[in-house]
Structure 1
Amino acid sequence: MFTSLLILFSSILLPAQTVLVSGEDVFGQCLDTNQAALVTAPAAEYGQLPLTVECRVQLTDAKGYNILVAHESKASAAHWELFTTPGDGKLHAYTPGRDPDHIHSDTVLTDGKWHWIGFVLDRDEAALFVDAVEVVRIASHIHKETRVPGNLVIGGLVEGGLHCRGYIDLLRISSGATWDHPLPTAPLTANPAVLGLWNFNEDDPARDDSGHDRNGEFRFREPKEDETPTLDIPGGMPTALQPLPESEDVTPLREIFAKHVQSLDLRSIDIDTLEDYVLRQWSHDFRWIGKKEYPESRPGGPDPATLRRQVFDENALVWESDDKVLSTVWRRVDALVAATADDNDTEYRASLRHDMERLRRACSKEKLDPDSPSYKALYLALCALRRQWMLSDPALDFDSLLCVVRGTFEGSVRSNPQTQDAQGGHFVTQYFGFNALPGGGLYRINSFKTRPEIVDILKDARVQKGRLKGQILDYGAFATPDLSYDGSSILFAWTENEDHRWIHTQERCFHLFKVNTDGSGLMQLTDGAYNDFDPCWLPDGRIAFVSERRGGYIRCFDAYLKVPSFTLFSMDEDGGDIQPLSYFETSEWNPSVNNEGQLVYTRWDYVDRENCLGTRFWISNPDGTNPRAPHGNYPLPFHTFPDHVPWSSEPGRGRDSRFGAPLVEMGIRAVPNSPLYIFTAAPHHGSVYGSLCMLDLRGKDDHHMSQIRRITPEEPFPETEMPGRRHYRYGTPWPLNESLYLCNEWENIVLLDRFGNKEILCDLRAMPCAHDERLRIINPIPLRPRTTPPALPKNVRSREKPDAPPATIAVMDVYNSDLPFPEGTRIKWLRIVQNIPKSNHAMGEPMIGYERENTPRIPLGIVPVEEDGSAYFEAPVAKQLIFQALDENFMAVQSMRSSAFVHPGEQMTCMGCHEDPYDAPQRIGHPLALQRPPSPLQPECGPLEPISYYRQIKPIFEESCLPCHREQQAGLQDMSYENLKEEYSFWFAGAMFGDMTTDYSGVHGGSRTIPGRFGARASKIGKALFDEHHKDSVSDKDRRQIIQWLDCNSLRLGAYVQEEEQLKGELVWPVLDVDPENVSGVETATPGLSGNFWHDHKDLPLVSLTAAKE
């Protein structure tokens, strides 16, 4: 065995004087935040309003975020921080407990000068001041109040990671709103309103001079000579048992229940067969029916009129006409009976109907006090009859369920109401093995309709194959099971993880296993220092799964968290022949097979877009070809140019059409014998749970809710109707038909129907595992054979199809677009551009473009478009591709804000450019392009290289443009990258959640490209290239190079590595998805693709902190 270790530095104990420096314009000494941050004692007063924060700072560069001061962690509603953004160095404030949650300014602080900053938080407004001048004031109100107590940090975040590049001389926090901030002329002094004050005195630099003794300790960034570094790894949540809350004593319920059953002669009810947890659940629902549970930590929700429009079945609502709880339950039971009863009802169901009528007469005889024991007894009797009716449904033609018990370190709604990314409280980090709570298991629930018998499937099973051969999996954590179509074999994910530390090792990652349903034949299928999970049996016997093997990182995480991407792969049933199904750059989840044999799954698609867009329904062939997003990938507004119309407006911001709709669609499954799909409306900042919905793709997508109906209207949508970073109620649904579903509700398994009826099938206390409240029973699957969908033919080069021709792409008609091209536009070329995944983990480091989540691009070539709009050309394989439609001047008229990819041997066909999927093609005759061989890719501007301002554009500006501008004293006199950011260049933003339509995104937001309003065509520089001053003075070669740069997002750098070399204009190749010997990646060029990816042959750094190998 060998182990490689990458060390991060922090928490080094050094003399405090080493962080103080003197200098010009410094009042004594100041804190050198390049070396350390000051972590001060917590104070509740820092979160109370009104509040004023003042500090004197000098910032030295804008290479990354500069955190001036931060109160509590980002998970706290009382968190506030002052920071500057990478690239531009502009001042902002972040206040997640308020709406809007950002205060943005255009004031640059990273100029090496001292600045006096003021920040005022009042109950209804917030403001920023710089050098005694108010630079922004906005209306701002509190929308959540749940606090996570924590420190105040000067020069960094409470969580660590990000820091401040510069110096802080003074900092004062005061109660009250101070709207006048004169420049200080001496060290600050305290007054009765001052809550905290730091002058960084040499004698005691961490001392609080306010008189409150909120002194601090320094947190150092780097070790000094002869000091031993320590690991800085997120984690640390406890593994100690957190027991479930004390359960209700149901003895009194049984007594009053039995009395009424006997007096009413309800012979079909046998109270003795009812488990205690069933009575407890009914009693719980008596209080909460139709209501959102745990509202104190989960505020918000839609209005009743919205729910009535969007509910799948109106009976699932509580009606105004309902007379308390019993009336609601009766209405739902009546709807159930009416929908499921027929002339062939069994004698058993006939007896249930008889007792229902007897009970109905009893309920109608007299008006009972809803708080009386008798009223509740009648309610319990109705629940018992409902339970027996639901459990006798013909769709429940099986006796056993498969499930797992699983939890993460994000805790539960009771013990940790606000979660964090590092705890597994994020839709990516929830599937990291080191975030899996040890405990749980893989179980079979026999006789679930009567008295459940729980079987630990792996109790005596020993691994027969793999690194763990001979071991029993009686420890670690389990996840994501799937059952073979014949009902005989189970796939599942398991990790050895035993505590909470963010280290990617093979012991702390999920791996895939296979076992027979009787516990025999346990085999390990995958291994390594990357997570493999979400296995899914394919109709042809192969296994689809999700894995980090693709390489690369998510683009939106701060430096303190390393978050690899995971995408779809497939393998043989014995774990061999692992092949990528997807070459996408961000994450994918929860694959399942629909009734037609296609793969459906969730994909996070935010190419050039705000980073919480596009985590919706995707569908592809089971070999990964032809991935499409027929629903929800492009919310409104499509653009944010000044003439855009907000989808909706609220004080201080325009809302986009994600709000009030599911932000994330997880656990998508086809309903048997139906065109519908069930899914969980889940959070981005949270795990796989939320509110259950039904999806119908037959109707046209209005980019909001036209295709979606709510099954569980009492649970609002996470993040778009109630706050993120919380816990949510329902999840992991398994549809039995359009009206009946298995799922989890909190920690238990339930049977749910469209009418709002619900019955618990098993609770966590019944499971033979630790009864930790952080665990949930999830992923219920009927343990029986099911119909195998058709096995679709493979469309890629494979063992079954080794002689497939080289990959090609055919476009039938580029003019076939749901957004019309400008009148008179003729498309002459297609440009094929490669999008590059992020090979390092820290957001905005380095800044690739003007926004911190922009990605590098490589133009791979252009191909001709025929007069009828068709194109046919050789396809780059195993790369993310962006297609652009070019006019006669090689300017892009239309481009993608997503990406496509082509597998080796695939023959991809596109009907148009964002064609309307609901309109039939109008083409007459055979496309001209398909009447000839495929076009080769033609290099557009010399050798194929990554787009880089410093290599391709800066020399043109300095050698050709600026001399003329200066000579004529006209035009731009400064053509540096930073000076071209607005109007002169063109770029789309990959900004933070909620910023798609705000002032922060400006004209760079939206979800789509508008034909004719893109790239060079929509920028001052691009338009000037053809005016009378430039059309003759700029060479064709330079003009095309500039156009290409503007059309490719006006990028600063072409790779995530070797920034200094790129700033010098040197050629630097990206780490991922590129072979410099065959940049285009077409299969007619050499060398060909030798592995799964173009970077497979490279000696790449590991994506993890620690890797262990045999």
Structure 2
Amino acid sequence: MKHALLSLSLSLLTLFSSQAAQPVLRPAETRRQLARIQPEAVRLALEDMAARWPQRCGQTDRAWCATLGERRDALMRRLDAKEPAATAEADALVRQVRAALLANPLLDAEQFLLVRRGANNLALPQNWQQQRDVNRKGLTNEIALLTGLRGAPALTPLHRAEPGTYVGDLQLHWDARRLMFTGENEKRLHRVYELDLAAPSQPKMFPFIPDDDVDNYAGCWLADDSVLFLSNATFIGVPCVVGSSYVAALYRWMPADGAIRRLTFDQDHNWYPTQMPDGRVMYLRWEYSGIVHYVSRLLFTLNPDGTGQRELYGSNSYWPNALFYARPVPGDPHRFTAIVSGHHGVPRMGELVMFDPTRGRRETQGVVQRIPGRGQPVENRVKDELVDDSWPKFLHPWPLGGGYILTACKPEPDALWGLYLVDTFDNITLIHEEQGQALFEPVPIQPTPRPVLLQDHARTAEKHGRVKIVDIYEGPGLAGVPRGTVKSLRLMTYSFAYRGMGSETDRVGFDGPWDVVRIMGSVPVEPDGSAYFEVPANTPISLQPLDAQGRAVQLMRSWLTVMPGELQSCSGCHEPQNSSAGPTRPMQAMARPPSQIRPWYGPERGIAFNREVQPVLDRYCVRCHDGRAGRPDFTLRPGVPIKTKEVYYINANNLFPPAYLALCAYIRSQTQEGDNRLQTPCNFHVSTTELFQILEAGHHGVRLDAESWDRLTTWIDMNRPNHGTWSENVGATRMGRLAERRAEMQRRYANLDEAHEVTYGVATLSAPALPPEEPLPPAPPAPAVPGWPFDAVAARAKQQALGAVTRALDLGGGVSLTLV
């Protein structure tokens, strides 16, 4: 059925058939497009079209493809020789190839939406930003209607943004009658609007979060006509840029009653939600709690009610740095396309890659093909500015089905951003471009089948959910750890950086962590490796498996989030989603009610060095380590700035207690950003630290009580934080009303009562008997060496006189080491 918008457009536009006259190209542009023709790619595409649509394309004359390469090469030579007739002949060949490839039935939509934007300001956020961060100076853009795609394309404006304001994030409704997009209101705040394509002059604003310090954008229609959208109502700031980019999370709006509920609770941005045919929502999630920030944007999925949040692609990987604009490939249950981009390099744009997660979910395992790049391997590169030197560059791919994709493309550095049809055979076919303009976000105006309607399982009135682990020893996370080692799980959560804070100047700890870490407590693990426990809903929670001494044998440098009433299950510790399920057997943990979290010496709170660890030093260490020469100073003293030439530290706002810095020198930890790959179990076990090795060796008779051991262990396992709240880090002036506003948003949209800036008193330890003081043994007498003293030359002569000295060490397992 023809869309109602045709009545608006036909008076202004003429629709062209594929046989209609196409625009004549300039000589330089003719040569450029002629050079892009790949004869083998053209032949493969036309054969594929004939096989897919035999009634439409099966009888097409393809004999001319046999000589296409020769004709192209000959015309290139004639153009280089500046033959007068060559330009017209080359233009005719380009148009012939274009017409053949654009005859693809997947382009049968009569009209296409796109964003036409002035090329002087592309309004693309940096890869660590959201849309509100874009410089809008000189920005001109509009939503436009493209017709005549196969002939002489023409554009008609549908909605023109005011100069200096943004319009984009196009989302067409399933019925193709309504368009959702992001615009700006009169206060320059981003809002989500709906446009009736039959009456496009009157866009309506969605009644999302109305506050004047909040932006809403990137709406996504769901199968039930509710809407997911992004909003920075989180009052979180991206920590590596001092909170200057306000973190956006996913929210859901219900049209029946206007209810809005927050679904994601992550450290950094979510981007580009889109619903998949199976009903799940695909989106990009950025996180870096102990991993490398420039390569840690992971493709995730969740159900429309927020349940079932899990990784789809990119965990424990260094490639790709980012997967922007991911969309499912129609007709395939697994494949998707995305723009592979970098971090500090070009914004949002990059390489167009097709993935299939069933092949693998790490780095290049799931790559089907880079486009163009048929038959070529994709390199697993580790680089910050990953795609700066890679051409062509792409944006906003819209998979049509099979290997055909409608996309914005800039084929060469001096080319325009135009609208192209590309395919997995390596054809890059220009549809339309305009001087001085960039054409973005192509969307065919045609109805789309609604995705599967998934039943909501979240029970929004509840405040808790449950977690079930079938067997924690399954999966590579605890590979090689003997069964029975893990006795419990430590639960921790976070207070992420507020707006306007974070980075090196506001670090919570020295070389880690980025954010305030909060101890929740622990839950038991049964002898068969199973666990079943209750957790607060709408809370990012990390789990650490603990041995009998309460020491972490693995570090979860990410988090899970459970919706109200949800039962979230996992098979083991970091088990691959592509692995087959293990044998079903009764779980010991499921034979009882879910465990409640056992508090850790008090309520949930941020771990602060002076409150949680300094009391241990006061009891056992400061008697000797009191600042006297030659010994580290573990006494409680005012904080000091870090002495360094690094610019980020010179004007640091926060101070570190001297005892904290002294103790950190004896600790081996994962640092602020450790290896992205899955850690080997026990790699950072506290027993590997010099501090624990000294203490366990009976350091001058010091014997810690169980609580003191536990406090040191927990502090180290949680990456040695110094500050337990952001208020004590940056001060009341910078905090302002940020904590109040975040708490208000959490109550309103997450049913949470947060008080993360509340501090608790300094820990009071139980009073074990102190070990008896033992005097230091007298220094041993100097060894008697004949002829002493002697110089280095004499010492070397004496060593040589002894001859070769060797020693063999038995390392076990049939391995020995010979020392020479």
Q: Same fold (TM over 0.5)?
A: yes
Q: Matched residues in 2 for 1:727 and 1:342: separation?
A: 31
Q: CA offsets, 1:161-214, max 9 Å, x none? A: xxxxxxxxxxxxxxxxxxxxxxxxxxxxxxxxxxxxxxxxxxxxxxxxxxxxxx
Q: From the superposition, tell whether residues 581 and 739 of structure 1 become closer, same or farther in structure 2 (CA, over 3 Å).
A: same
Tell me whether 1:668 sits opposite 2:350 in the alignment.
no
Alignment correspondent of 1:738: 402
Counterpart among 488, 499, 523 of residue 177 in structure 2? 488
Tell me whether 1:336 sits opposite 2:45 in the alignment.
yes
Q: CA deviation at 1:805?
A: 8.5
Alignment correspondent of 2:667: 984
Q: How does 1:57-68 map to 2 (within 5 A)?
A: none
Quick check: 1:356–1:382 contact (8 Å CA) kept in 2? Answer: no
Q: From the superposition, tell whether residues 437 and 785 of structure 1 become closer, same or farther in structure 2 (CA, over 3 Å).
A: farther
Q: Partner of 2:289: helix, strand, or coil?
A: coil
Q: Partner of 1:665: helix, strand, or coil?
A: strand
Alignment correspondent of 1:273: 21
Q: How does 1:138-157 map to 2 (within 5 A)?
A: none
Task: Supply the AA of the counterpart residue of 2:475.
Answer: S
Alignment correspondent of 1:790: 452
Alignment correspondent of 1:523: 204
Q: CA offsets, 1:1043-1075, max 9 Å, x none? A: 11111111111122123889xxxxx99948998
Tell me whether 1:934 sits opposite 2:594 in the alignment.
yes
- Aligned-pair identity (%): 20
Q: Matched residues in 2 for 1:360 and 1:726: separation?
A: 25
Quick check: 2:298–2:312 contact (8 Å CA) kept in 1? Answer: no
Q: CA deviation at 1:359?
A: 6.7
Q: CA deviation at 1:1036?
A: 1.2
Q: CA offsets, 1:918-958, max 9 Å, x none? A: 32232442211112111111112234321011111112112
Tell me whether 1:628 sits opposite 2:319 in the alignment.
no
Q: CA deviation at 1:493?
A: 0.2
Q: How does 1:204-283 map to 2 (within 5 A)?
A: 273-276=21-24, 281-283=29-31
Q: How does 1:835-850 map to 2 (within 5 A)?
A: 835-842=494-501, 843-850=503-510
Q: CA deviation at 1:728?
A: 7.5
Alignment correspondent of 2:790: none
Q: CA offsets, 1:688-729, max 9 Å, x none? A: 211100011111345345535211349999955757599982
Q: CA deviation at 1:887?
A: 0.9
Greater helix proportion: 2
Q: Partner of 2:294: helix, strand, or coil?
A: coil
Q: CA deviation at 1:758?
A: 2.4
Quick check: 2:484–2:527 contact (8 Å CA) kept in 1? Answer: no
Q: CA deviation at 1:1010?
A: 2.5
Q: CA offsets, 1:385-430, max 9 Å, x none? A: 2212222212222111111224697669xxxxxxxxxx94444155
Q: From the superposition, tell whether residues 949 and 399 of structure 1 become closer, same or farther in structure 2 (CA, over 3 Å).
A: same
Q: CA deviation at 1:476?
A: 2.8
Q: Matched residues in 1 for 2:551 and 2:741: separation?
A: 26
Tell me whether 1:508 sits opposite 2:508 in the alignment.
no
Q: Partner of 1:395: helix, strand, or coil?
A: helix
Q: From the superposition, tell whether residues 515 and 1096 of structure 1 become closer, same or farther in structure 2 (CA, over 3 Å).
A: farther
Q: From the superposition, tell whether residues 879 and 388 of structure 1 become closer, same or farther in structure 2 (CA, over 3 Å).
A: same
Task: Supply the AA of the counterpart residue of 1:732.
Answer: H
Tell me whether 1:455 sits opposite 2:156 in the alignment.
yes
Counterpart among 518, 522, 529 of residue 862 in structure 1? 522
Q: CA deviation at 1:507?
A: 2.1
Q: Partner of 2:680: helix, strand, or coil?
A: coil
Alignment correspondent of 1:535: 219
Q: CA deviation at 1:888?
A: 0.9
Q: Matched residues in 1 for 2:609 and 2:392: separation?
A: 46
Q: Matched residues in 2 for 1:676 and 1:566: separation?
A: 26
Q: From the superposition, tell whether residues 874 and 623 of structure 1 become closer, same or farther in structure 2 (CA, over 3 Å).
A: same
Q: CA deviation at 1:478?
A: 0.4
Task: Supply the AA of the counterpart residue of 1:451.
Answer: A
Q: CA deviation at 1:352?
A: 4.5
Alignment correspondent of 2:103: 392
Q: Matched residues in 1 for 2:267 and 2:582: separation?
A: 34
Quick check: 2:247–2:269 contact (8 Å CA) kept in 1? Answer: yes
Q: Matched residues in 1 for 2:77 and 2:534: separation?
A: 77
Counterpart among 421, 439, 463 of residue 751 in structure 1? 421
Counterpart among 544, 550, 554 of residue 238 in structure 2? 554
Q: CA offsets, 1:563-583, max 9 Å, x none? A: 111121111348932211201
Tell me whether 1:611 sits opposite 2:293 in the alignment.
yes
Q: CA deviation at 1:285?
A: 2.9
Q: From the superposition, tell whether residues 981 and 1023 of structure 1 become closer, same or farther in structure 2 (CA, over 3 Å).
A: same
Q: CA RMSD in A?
A: 3.9
Quick check: 1:817–1:916 contact (8 Å CA) kept in 2? Answer: yes
Q: Matched residues in 1 for 2:428 and 2:177: separation?
A: 29
Q: Matched residues in 2 for 1:740 and 1:552: separation?
A: 39
Q: Matched residues in 1 for 2:614 and 2:117: separation?
A: 54
Gaps of 5+ in 1: 1-267, 290-327, 413-422, 460-471, 497-505, 636-657, 766-772, 991-1003, 1063-1067, 1077-1087, 1101-1110
Quick check: 1:425–1:725 contact (8 Å CA) kept in 2? Answer: no
Q: Matched residues in 1 for 2:341 and 2:550: separation?
A: 43
Q: Matched residues in 1 for 2:444 and 2:22: separation?
A: 22
Counterpart among 215, 221, 228 of residue 544 in structure 1? 228
Q: How does 1:850-929 map to 2 (within 5 A)?
A: 850-851=510-511, 854-929=514-589
Quick check: 1:436–1:477 contact (8 Å CA) kept in 2? Answer: no
Quick check: 2:196–2:203 contact (8 Å CA) kept in 1? Answer: yes
Q: Matched residues in 2 for 1:435 and 1:475: separation?
A: 5
Q: From the superposition, tell whether residues 409 and 871 of structure 1 become closer, same or farther in structure 2 (CA, over 3 Å).
A: farther
Alignment correspondent of 1:157: none
Alignment correspondent of 2:679: 1009
Alignment correspondent of 2:610: 950
Alignment correspondent of 1:591: 273
Task: Supply the AA of the counterpart residue of 2:39.
Answer: W
Q: Partner of 2:159: helix, strand, or coil?
A: coil
Task: Supply the AA of the counterpart residue of 2:302.
Answer: S
Quick check: 2:236–2:247 contact (8 Å CA) kept in 1? Answer: yes
Q: CA offsets, 1:9-41, max 9 Å, x none? A: xxxxxxxxxxxxxxxxxxxxxxxxxxxxxxxxx
Quick check: 1:430–1:436 contact (8 Å CA) kept in 2? Answer: no
Quick check: 1:796–1:903 contact (8 Å CA) kept in 2? Answer: yes
Q: Matched residues in 1 for 2:42 and 2:140: separation?
A: 38
Q: CA deviation at 1:889?
A: 0.8
Task: Supply the AA of the counterpart residue of 2:254.
Answer: D
Q: From the superposition, tell whether residues 863 and 565 of structure 1 become closer, same or farther in structure 2 (CA, over 3 Å).
A: same
Q: CA deviation at 1:363?
A: 7.2
Task: Supply the AA of the counterpart residue of 2:688.
Answer: A
Q: Matched residues in 2 for 1:1035 and 1:662: separation?
A: 47
Q: How does 1:670-749 map to 2 (within 5 A)?
A: 670-674=328-332, 675-685=334-344, 686-713=346-373, 729-746=393-410, 747-749=417-419
Query: Number of aligned pairs?
Result: 695
Q: Matched residues in 2 for 1:916 and 1:1036: separation?
A: 37
Quick check: 2:695–2:703 contact (8 Å CA) kept in 1? Answer: no
Task: Supply the AA of the counterpart residue of 1:586.
Answer: D
Q: CA deviation at 1:909?
A: 1.3
Q: CA deviation at 1:1091?
A: 4.3
Q: From the superposition, tell whether residues 563 and 632 of structure 1 become closer, same or farther in structure 2 (CA, over 3 Å).
A: same
Task: Supply the AA of the counterpart residue of 2:287.
Answer: D
Q: Partner of 2:38: helix, strand, or coil?
A: helix
Task: Supply the AA of the counterpart residue of 2:49.
Answer: T
Q: Matched residues in 2 for 1:343 and 1:570: separation?
A: 39
Q: From the superposition, tell whether residues 778 and 1096 of structure 1 become closer, same or farther in structure 2 (CA, over 3 Å).
A: farther
